[in-house]
Structure 1
Amino acid sequence: MGDQLQAAATRIAEKWGPHQLKEAEQVAIRKALAQGEQWLARLLERQARGRFLEQVLRRQFTQLKWNPKGVDAVDPLTGYKYELLSGTDSNLALHGTRMARELFRMITF
């Protein structure tokens, strides 16, 4: 399951682009840029990309139990846990700290 999830995440991430941003996300990014907060604009875009990716994966992998908190998905047949990560240093550090007691497979995109 993990390999299938990783392959799908990679495929979906390649299709993502700024055209996928919702209006509210576009407004927030423009506002951050107008205030000179390029780092915030990049963060908001990465977060939007992650939400998009998770939304598509949820529709494709309905056999997984998707969670609003904690690990993103659990395979009810095996108990394996999966976490979707952008793969940036800050994202990996955040998840590593927040979920230090969890054993999960990282699905990076």
Structure 2
Amino acid sequence: MGDQLQEAVTRAANEWGPDKLSRNERSAINDAVKKGEYWLARLLEREARGRFVQSRVKKQFEQHYDFSLSKGTDVVDPATNRRYEILSGTESNLGRHGRRMAGELFRMLTF
């Protein structure tokens, strides 16, 4: 099932575009740009993309897996207890998750 999750993550990431931003996300990004905080605008956009991907994958697989998108690993297969984490694959994202979840064994689903 991990390969199916990876395919779903890749598909969802390819569907994402700036048109998928919520009004609040777009406003926060625009505010950051106005303040010259381009790094923050880019971070907010990447986070929005991640939430979009997670949401799409959850909708597709929530009948098969346990999803906890705000703490611990993102996805747990209750039948095998295998754990999956949906990651953007950027250096900062991988580093942050690596430090936060150093004691957990999980498969990375990157986009």
Match of 1:79 in 2: 81
Instruction: Determine whether 1:105 maps to 2:107.
Output: yes
1:105 positional shift: 0.3
Helix, strand or coil: the match of 1:79? coil
- In structure 2, stretches of 5+ residues that fail to align are none
Q: Which runs of 4+ in 1 moved over 2 A?
A: none
Deviations 1:6-49 (A, max 9, x none): 01110110110000000000000000001111110010000000
Mapped to 1, the partners of 2:14 and 2:71 lie a distance apart of: 26
Q: Which residue of 1 aligns with 2:25?
A: 25
Query: What corresponds to 1:2 in structure 2?
Result: 2
Normalized against structure 2, the TM-score is what? 0.96
Q: CA RMSD in A?
A: 0.6
Alpha-carbon distance in 1 for matches of 2:36, 2:11: 33
Structure 1: gaps spanning 5 or more residues: none
**Equivalent position amino acid for 1:57 in 2:** V
How far apart in 1 are the matches of 2:67 and 2:8?
16
How many residue pairs match? The answer is 109
Q: Tell me how far apart the structure 1 counterparts of residues 50 and 84 of structure 2 sit (CA, whole Å).
A: 14
Report sequence identity in percent. Answer: 58
Q: Which residue of 1 aligns with 2:59?
A: 59
Distance 1:54 1:22 in 2: 15
